[in-house]
């Protein structure tokens, strides 16, 4: 695709909108054709490209056909462009992709692959900490991951000065970051002017994004106690090759529950819960089976974007292109010996049940524990298992 083709594509989409045929939230690219064409010369067709709400140019330059892209856009999926065969992924949640990018890169490095991950973000993503923790992680572990910051000095219509009180641009001293500046052709989204969309008939969420179903749960009968069943389930998962992610998984063996798992299957992470989840999601794209261990549900609040907007929805928003077989161990820290206070022992299970599609198991017995983990390890979708520390 050359510069004229890129511009012509966005002009065509803009016209569809002006004609009232696109009653969707979408974002046109423009003004950065030269920079992107240059950058994509370094991007191999097998590399991963992670895009964002402004995905059209990235998709076209990574080989997604204009016909396919246009069809997606016409069906409300401008912000949801996925193609597993081309390793093209996106998220319209600002700050949603950097953690996932390092998860994919971690997996590629562990496999000895030559592929890289290219994570495209705007300067709006520089506003939040998720990018910082991912860059720091990619640097520390020297992961094959480049973050491309596309700086148009705008988040929606607000400039850096509007947002941060200073026009000073943030400089990254990192070999994992490429930052370029450009002037945007269009306003933040679409084109200027209000268009009459009243003739279009909106469909339901279910029609745009058909829900996927989970297989039936097969009950396991076990004589083991709750605690013994947790220990044995971890041993089973370890034997099946699962990788355990979190803090205190290597040093503390997750309250001793991972004692039988080889250290090579444990990833001790920074105290960056959203990054932990992103790591698991990205690794799962490359065939790894991750278990994320949260020693207190309270800390999961920091990972809610990765859990609610990503883990739980990726299969659905990507129309099944990407699967995320991740098991979450969500421990309620209701046990002693110390009193840990109301920010360290809350049970958020009801909230998770209210907002997530993934099954949430709340085992009460050894049989329930075995049922939950065996189910999780037999499917290619995420599940959450709530554990009570008082029962260990």
Ligand X SMILES: Cc1ncc(C[n+]2csc(CCOP(=O)(O)OP(=O)(O)O)c2C)c(N)n1
Positions touching ligand X (CB under 6 A) are: 53-54, 92-95, 122-125, 152, 154-156, 188
Question: What is the spatial order of strands in the sheet that 117-122 belongs to?
Answer: 88-90, 48-51, 117-122, 145-151, 177-181
> Closest approach of Cβ 250 to ligand X, in Å?
31
Cβ-contact 218, 371 below 8 angstroms: yes
Q: Which is nearer to ligand X, 156 or 197 (CB)?
A: 156
Q: For residue 117, report the phi and psi dihedrals to the nearest 5 degrees.
A: -115, 130
Report how far apart, in Å, the C-alpha atoms of 244 and of each of 198, 238, 270, 271, 327 are: 50, 8, 14, 15, 9
The 10 Å Cβ neighbour count of residue 213 is 7
- Distance (Å, whole) CA 41 – CA 169: 26
Q: Which is nearer to ligand X, 94 or 356 (CB)?
A: 94
Report CA torsion sign: 108, 54, 92, 201: negative
> Closest approach of Cβ 161 to ligand X, in Å?
14
Q: Which is nearer to ligand X, 90 or 333 (CB)?
A: 90
- Distance (Å, whole) CA 93 – CA 101: 14
Q: Which is nearer to ligand X, 152 or 233 (CB)?
A: 152
Q: Which is nearer to ligand X, 243 or 300 (CB)?
A: 300
> Closest approach of Cβ 128 to ligand X, in Å?
7
Q: Which is nearer to ligand X, 129 or 270 (CB)?
A: 129
> Closest approach of Cβ 86 to ligand X, in Å?
22
> Closest approach of Cβ 54 to ligand X, in Å?
5
> Closest approach of Cβ 122 to ligand X, in Å?
2
Beta-carbon contacts of residue 43 (< 8 Å; ≥ 6 apart): 49, 61, 62, 116, 118
Residues linked to residue 89 through DSSP beta bridges, in sequence order: 50
Report CA torsion sign: 15, 16, 21, 26: negative
> Closest approach of Cβ 160 to ligand X, in Å?
10
Q: Which is nearer to ligand X, 31 or 66 (CB)?
A: 31
């Amino acid at each position: 695709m050359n510069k004229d083709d890129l511009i012509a594509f966005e002009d065509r989409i803009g016209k569809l909108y002006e004609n009232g045929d696109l009653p969707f939230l979408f974002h046109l690219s423009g003004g950065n054709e030269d920079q992107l064409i240059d950058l994509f010369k370094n991007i191999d067709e097998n590399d991963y490209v992670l895009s964002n709400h402004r995905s059209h140019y990235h998709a076209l330059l990574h080989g997604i056909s204009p016909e396919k892209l246009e069809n997606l856009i016409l069906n409300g999926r401008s912000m949801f462009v996925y193609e597993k065969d081309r390793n093209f992924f996106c998220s319209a949640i600002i700050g949603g992709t950097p953690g996932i990018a390092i998860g994919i890169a971690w997996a590629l490095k562990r496999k000895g692959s030559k592929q890289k991950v290219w994570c495209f973000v705007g300067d709006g993503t520089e506003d939040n900490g998720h990018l910082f923790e991912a860059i720091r992680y990619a640097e520390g572990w020297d992961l094959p991951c480049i973050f491309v910051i596309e700086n148009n000095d705008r988040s929606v219509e607000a400039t850096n000065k509007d947002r941060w009180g200073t026009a000073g641009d943030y400089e990254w001293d990192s070999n994992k970051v490429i930052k370029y500046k450009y002037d945007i052709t269009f306003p933040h989204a679409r084109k200027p002017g209000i268009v009459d969309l009243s003739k279009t008939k909106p469909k339901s969420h279910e029609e745009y994004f058909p829900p996927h179903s989970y297989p039936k749960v097969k009950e396991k009968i076990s004589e083991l106690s709750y605690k013994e069943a947790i220990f044995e389930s971890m041993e089973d998962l370890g034997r099946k090759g699962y990788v355990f992610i979190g803090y205190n998984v290597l040093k503390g063996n997750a309250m001793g529950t991972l004692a039988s798992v080889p250290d090579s299957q444990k990833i001790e992470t920074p105290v960056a819960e959203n990054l932990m989840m992103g790591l698991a999601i990205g690794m799962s794209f490359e065939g790894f089976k991750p278990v994320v261990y949260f020693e207190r549900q309270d800390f999961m609040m920091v990972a809610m974007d990765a859990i609610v907007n990503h883990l739980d929805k990726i299969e659905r928003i990507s129309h099944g292109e990407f699967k995320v077989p991740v098991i979450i161990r969500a421990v309620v820290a209701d046990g002693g010996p110390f009193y840990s206070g109301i920010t360290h022992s809350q049970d958020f299970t009801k909230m998770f049940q209210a907002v997530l599609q993934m099954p949430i198991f709340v085992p009460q017995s050894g049989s329930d524990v075995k049922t939950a983990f065996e189910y999780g390890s037999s499917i290619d979708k995420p599940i959450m298992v709530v554990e009570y520390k008082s029962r260990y």
